[in-house]
A and B are shown apart, each in its own frame.
Chain A
């Protein structure tokens, strides 16, 4: 029997919210996360006191689960502030699924917020410096992803223009999303003309540095139907970790998304061809190419040509990062939770000009560290369960 297949559709997302995306001057990370959490709880038609499962990680507060419980004035039966980088929140959904299905909790809140733009002014990282990489002062995280990109170009002939087309598609989506921080025209030429940061990646190949917060609420499917909004079932959730530092990844053109994706699809009983909309963690343009390949949306090595074909932009055959992604929507540092929120909003039909017509199945994918931790969730409307 497929591992986890009995979990298919047993839990559902019933609340989703974002807050402070872009610039939120004056707010701390905790305040941003708390407000996103409040909005997601209200979106579900619940009250904070009904939350008995709490999942969070904040940029620099390693005991943020305790802090946010106190701040919200709730007494969760289960508190989890485990960290795997930007993929953490999709692993939280995986753990929440297990705890809900086991009957240990009834309502799980997953939340996150960061003020790195107006607070620190740069990416805030809680990673332990590596004694074997730090002496070389790589401009991480971009250097690590640039190394992966160099390898993909070497092995598969992927080009800078193909990488740039990822940023262009993200911007086209962002131009349809009123909440997106970076809007306006962007051409492949614009991306290539932007400053090189770590070859082959330019500034416009890199995600934004913004403030922002997101939150989702989960419950068991049997309870979900009685709540305020259209429930979105969790059909499969899986994660995988292969390494931490980029030099330790066996093949720089293959991430552990290959495993997390295939396990999540197997749980869901679905294949990539079934998916209507994809939201994945595009910290850099190479990520979108690697993850589309590793998750099975195109063959290994064909990601560059696939994204350059226009498939992933508005009007394309596979809408990817319909909010504009970390490249143009917002990127507060650990972006993963936004992939879940956008997937939920698309399936609920709440996306206005960027709405993918008749979207019934979505895939959300998070990345943590330097291609290190990968987590995949497959979501669907109740009719797909």
Chain B
């Protein structure tokens, strides 16, 4: 980890000092244990702020859009894939962005640690190799990291960014075995009524803060469908009838583009599982079109074009 951190700083410093980029977007130490925060560095002397560890969970590709300067951005596999999707969708000038790819073995899910510790607050934490050491008032625990990674990381098939301009460190072995759609299969096995109950219960906690939308790099519409008034597609209240529409439509809007970075679920203050609905759309994309988002800059997303050999069994 330390090696990668140093390498990131070296790469970033080189890019900045050679004026290949005007700005580096990376991570710096957060104000709480096990947290990092996005960092915008435009001066070489600030490069030392950059860190790299298992708490670098923010999706920095969000910050690539809407900038005029040349940027170097630290990208995990999922982040790099999302930058690629945005590039394919022509949301930013590709030549303005240097993707600094970093291999990632997964980010820590703070919510899993909170669930384990209950009301005990983590005051200090260190991550060494495969262990997370947490300390608080009157307790000290060592947790196996693999049990506290984000769900999206457990089945990630792109630990090494498939698209990047600079690769930092050594490639790590990919996880070829895990069934990335196991969660979806569980849901599929339920009856329609059971699924309805499940989603109703989950989404009734939503407070319409839109953290899920705002943290997602794919949600870049200048006027989100939520805010349109003419026509107003649905209500903005936190009534279940309105909330369900918001989540379902957002799932459809990111279908075929989402890479399951998990940022939406991590951002949700009410701990909603926002991935599972969208994961189903990802499964359909894979099965129906053999498509994975963001692994190739040449491929046009299936939902953005039509091929003669596309299956059409739904047309009767």
Question: Do A and B share a complex?
Answer: no
